Structure 1
C-alpha cells in the first residue's frame, strides 16, 4: 500500500499527479508507522539500538562541503520537461548531491527540484503586495513519494495565502522519479492482479510469500549494486540541507507529511541551527526502538480501527448503500464480495487483494468512503464496473509504482535492524491478526524483504532537541490516523523541545494541512505566515463526515 501524503483537499486537480498511487497497486506498505499502545511488549521484536545513529566526522564534513558547493551553484530553474501538461508557472531544475556523504568528491547524483515563485499577491486584496518569506520546501512522505508537483498546490484556495508569501518548492528524494531512480524488479511484473489477500494465510501461502520476499530483496541488490546502501533517512536529511543551500536559504522552512516528518525530525536533530520553521503533518513515531518493525505492527493495529470507522459510517447510511445496518453487517457484505471475487475476479483484474487495497486507501481519507461504498454496493447488486474503475491495477503507472516500492523498501530496510528469522514475524503477526486482521498480513508481505536484505543497516538517530536548540515547530495530527497513529505525534512532541501539537479530535485523515478543517489550517497559516503558535497544545473539532454518494 502506498502512502498518499497530500491532504485530500488537493482533490482531482492534483492528486493523481502528486502522490496518489494507482488503484489496485500491489505494493508499497505504509511507510510511516508509529507505535500503538499495547504493542511494545510483543515477543520477538528487535532490541532498540544501543547507540544513536549519529553521523561520523566524514559525513559531517562531506555534508558541509556539498552544501557549500550547492550554494555556489544555485539552482538553474527553467521550463519543466512536461511543461505542456502542467498548469501554472512551475519551473524545474536539479541539485547535485554526493551518493556517499563520506566521499563528497566521489559519485554524485542529481535531485529533481521544482518551484513556483511566490505570487506576492494578497488573495483578499489583489492590489496589496505580500512580503516574500523565502522558500517552503515540502516532502510528501513515502518513503518513495514524489514531491515534484507539490508547487502546483498553490492554485488551491486553502494554499493561496502561503503561496503568496513563499516560493513553493518540491523535489524527488534520492531514488525517486527523476532523482537517480531505484528499481528492484521489472515494472511489467510489478502489478499482479487479480491477487489474493488472506487474513489468516496458510503455511503454503506463507512459504510462497517468503520466496517472493527473498527474490525481491535479491533484485534490489542486483539492480543497484553497492549504491543501494546509500538510500536511507540520514542521507535524505543531508540532501535536504544541500537543497536548502542551493536555494540560497540561510534557514530552512519545511513541511513534511507522513514519512516526511521522520526524516524532517532527523534533520532537526542534525541541523537545528539551520531551521527557521518546520511543520510536521501526520507525524510518525521517531523512537529508535520503533523504527521500523514495531511501527509496522502499530500501523496494522491502527488500520483495524479505521476500517471499523468506515463500516460504522456505511451502516449509518444503509438506506443509501444497502451494505447493512450495523458494522458487522457491512463486514459481512465485504466478506461476501471477497468470496465472489476469489471465485471470479471482476473484469479479470480485481480479486480480493485489489478489493482490500481499495478499502485500505479509504483508511487514509474519509472523502474516499462514498465512492468505495458505492462501488461495493454496485458490485453486490450485479454491476462490477465501478469496482473495476477504482480497484483495477493501472498498467500505465507500473513504472512509477515499482519505483516507489523500491525506494520504500530500500530506505526502510537500510534504516534499522529487522528480524531475520521469519518465525519472529510469523509469531508477532499471527498474534496481531487475531484482533486486527484487515491490514496485518498485507503489511508483512510488503516489508518482509527487509528480513533478507543485503548490506549494512543504519542505527536510527535518537531524535531529540533540548531547550533553545531548535526554533519552535508545529506538529499537526488526527487522533484516529491509521497510517501514522496518533501516539507517534505525541512522542515527536515530547522529543522536540518547544514544539506545539495541534490535534484534530475524533478524526482520522492522513495529511491535514490544506484539508477540510479550517481550524487546523488556521494554525498552520498563523505559524508559517506569522510565526505564531499556541502557548501549549491545541485541539480542533473534527471536520465534517463525508456525504454519501448515491448508490446504484
Structure 2
C-alpha cells in the first residue's frame, strides 16, 4: 500500500528480544477524572444497522453535539454520531479504546460493527470499544455541494486521465466541482478537517469521563490518531497506527494520492502470482501461465477497453479501461478481492461475456458522500494550483507507473479549492511518550511502505514498527497475519512492545513468529 528502498527501520531480531519493552503508559485509565472539554452525558440506544452490516449484540449509538467552529465554542453546534461496544469482561477492563476509521469518509459505526467482536476477543475484554462517524459521514451532520450525477462516479472523482493521457476534462470537472462546493457547501463542509475530527474525539473522551484513552487508527485514521497524540500527548495511553501514510504537513492528502502509484506497482506482483497459479485453472480464473505475463495482459486489456468499452450487465454503464483500472486499485487492498477482479478480466476478454462491475464502480455516489470525499482531502492542506504543471506530472507518472495511468498525479478539485485562512496541518514529531506501535504491510497499495517509514522517522523513539510481509492495506485483524495480530494485541493488553522494529513473515493463519 516497491521501487522504494527497504533499508532503515526493519531490523531482524529474535523472538526473545521482541518480547521486550514495557511502555511507560500502562496505568489503567478507567476511572480517572476527566480533563479538557466536557460534553453533556450521552444518551445511548441500540444502533441501526449501518449500510446493511449486522451490528453485534450490545453495540450502542448516541449523538454528540460539538461546536461547528471550535473558535466559537458557544455558537452553532453540529451532531456527531458515536458508538460503543462495552467489554464483555468487566473485571478485565482497563479503559476505553478509540477505533478510528479510515477514508477520509469511513464510518466508525460501521467499522465497529465489522471489527468489534474480533477486537473485543483479541484484547481479552480489556477495553470498552468506542468510535464515531466523522463529520459528513453516516449519522453525523452532513453537507453537499450539489455535484452533478455525471461527476459523482468514482472514476471521475479520482480524476483518471483520458485514454490519450489528456487531463483537459479532469481540469474542467475539478474547476466546476470546487466552485459548487464553495457556493453550496457552507461552513459545515468547510469544517470537514482532520483538526476538527481530533477536537471531536477529545470532546467524546470528555463525555465518556475518561482521562486517557487508547487508540487504534487505520489508514487515514492512523494519521488522525497520530495528530490526536501530538496535540494531546497526556491523554493517550496506547496508540496503534495501522497502515500509515507520509505525515509531511506540506503535502498530507496530496502526497498520499501521489504515493498510490508506486504502491500499486509494488502490490501488483502478489495478484500476478495468484492469477498465474495453476490452482486457478480449476476455478476458471487463471489469467496467464507465468506471473510476469499478467501485467502485460492487464495493460493490453485496459487499452482495448479504452478504445472499445464493453457492454456490461449494468444498463448504460459499459466497462471502460479506467473502470478496469479502478477495479484493480480496489482489489489490491486485500487478497480476498483477487477472485472478483479475475472474473471481471475474464468476462472482459470473452467476446460473449457481460462483465459485472461492482456497484461502487457502476453507480454514482450520493451527493453528500461525493462532497465529503472531495472536501475531506482538500480542506486540510493547500494543493498545487492549476498552473503548476499537472499535465507534465501526469505524463511522467503514466510512463513510470502504467498500472495507474497517471491518476495519482492528476488534477483534482483541490487545485481550485477556496480555504478559510491558511491551512496549518499538525507536524508529527518525536516529542511525547514512547507509547506508539506501528504495523505496516511491506506491499501496501494505498499507504506504501516508504511513506510509513517517514511517519516512523518523524515519531523517533516514541514508536516501534512491525513490518508484515503479507501484502494489502489494513493489517491488524485485517489481512490474515497472525504474527502481526499477536504483536498488536499483546501491546494493547499488556503494554509490551518489541524492543526494536521487527518483521513478521507471511504466514497467513499460522501462529507466526517475529523475526
TM class by shorter-chain length?
Answer: 0.7 to 0.9
Pairing partner for 2:180 from 219, 226, 230: 219
- The CA deviation at 1:541 is 0.4
Distance 1:344-1:509 versus aligned 2 partners, 3 A rule = closer
- Give the TM-score normalised by structure 2: 0.82
**Residue equivalent to 2:98:** 137
Q: Does 1:362 align with 2:331?
A: yes
- Give the alignment of 1:60-75 within 5 angstroms: 67-70=36-39, 73-75=40-42
**Residue equivalent to 1:398:** 365
> 1:447-492 CA distances to partner (integer Å, 9 max, x unpaired)?
61011001234122211132xx324111000111120011222222
**Residue equivalent to 1:53:** none
Structure 1 range deviating more: 291-300 or 412-421 = 291-300
Pairing partner for 2:77 from 102, 108, 123: 108
Q: Does 1:344 align with 2:313?
A: no
**Which sections of structure 2, spanning at least 5 residues, go unmatched?**
7-33, 510-515
- The CA deviation at 1:384 is 3.6
> 1:169-192 CA distances to partner (integer Å, 9 max, x unpaired)?
121111222211132335744554
Structure 1 range deviating more: 133-142 or 85-94 = 85-94
Pairing partner for 1:240 from 201, 204, 207: 201
Distance 1:543-1:410 versus aligned 2 partners, 3 A rule = farther
- Give the alignment of 1:176-325 within 5 angstroms: 176-186=137-147, 188-189=149-150, 191-192=152-153, 201-202=163-164, 205-317=166-278, 319-320=281-282, 321-325=285-289
> 1:405-443 CA distances to partner (integer Å, 9 max, x unpaired)?
322321221211211134422222211221102225333
Asked whether the equivalents of residues 246 and 255 of structure 2 are also in contact (C-alpha less than 8 Å), the reply is no
Asked whether the equivalents of residues 34 and 284 of structure 1 are also in contact (C-alpha less than 8 Å), the reply is no
- The CA deviation at 1:367 is 2.0
Distance 1:409-1:198 versus aligned 2 partners, 3 A rule = closer
Residue 414 of structure 2 aligns to a residue whose secondary structure is helix
**How many positions carry a matched residue from both structures?**
468
Pairing partner for 2:345 from 369, 376, 382: 376
Pairing partner for 1:472 from 419, 426, 435: 435
- Give the Cα–Cα distance (whole angstroms) in 1 for the partners of residues 448 and 108 of structure 2: 23
Asked whether the equivalents of residues 42 and 63 of structure 2 are also in contact (C-alpha less than 8 Å), the reply is yes
- The CA deviation at 1:82 is 4.4
Q: Does 1:500 align with 2:464?
A: yes
> 1:29-84 CA distances to partner (integer Å, 9 max, x unpaired)?
xxxx999669xxxxxxxxxxxxxxxxxxxxxxxxxx995331xx122111224499
Pairing partner for 2:132 from 149, 156, 171: 171
Q: Does 1:434 align with 2:402?
A: no
- Give the Cα–Cα distance (whole angstroms) in 2 for the partners of residues 493 and 340 of structure 1: 41
Asked whether the equivalents of residues 42 and 64 of structure 2 are also in contact (C-alpha less than 8 Å), the reply is yes
Asked whether the equivalents of residues 266 and 444 of structure 2 are also in contact (C-alpha less than 8 Å), the reply is no
- Give the Cα–Cα distance (whole angstroms) in 2 for the partners of residues 87 and 180 of structure 1: 24
Distance 1:66-1:167 versus aligned 2 partners, 3 A rule = closer
- The CA deviation at 1:275 is 0.7
- Give the Cα–Cα distance (whole angstroms) in 2 for the partners of residues 146 and 75 of structure 1: 19
**Residue equivalent to 1:41:** none
Distance 1:79-1:421 versus aligned 2 partners, 3 A rule = same
**Which sections of structure 1, spanning at least 5 residues, go unmatched?**
1-32, 39-64, 121-128, 546-552
Distance 1:444-1:498 versus aligned 2 partners, 3 A rule = closer
Pairing partner for 2:46 from 75, 79, 95: 79
Distance 1:308-1:442 versus aligned 2 partners, 3 A rule = same
Asked whether the equivalents of residues 68 and 77 of structure 2 are also in contact (C-alpha less than 8 Å), the reply is yes
- Give the Cα–Cα distance (whole angstroms) in 1 for the partners of residues 288 and 348 of structure 2: 15
CA RMSD of aligned residues (A): 3.1
- The CA deviation at 1:240 is 1.4
Residue 68 of structure 1 aligns to a residue whose secondary structure is coil
Distance 1:232-1:158 versus aligned 2 partners, 3 A rule = closer
Asked whether the equivalents of residues 362 and 368 of structure 1 are also in contact (C-alpha less than 8 Å), the reply is yes
- The CA deviation at 1:108 is 1.0
- The CA deviation at 1:504 is 0.5
> 1:304-330 CA distances to partner (integer Å, 9 max, x unpaired)?
222243224322346453422234532
Residue 304 of structure 1 aligns to a residue whose secondary structure is helix
- The CA deviation at 1:90 is 1.4
> 1:80-111 CA distances to partner (integer Å, 9 max, x unpaired)?
24499644221110112111111101111110
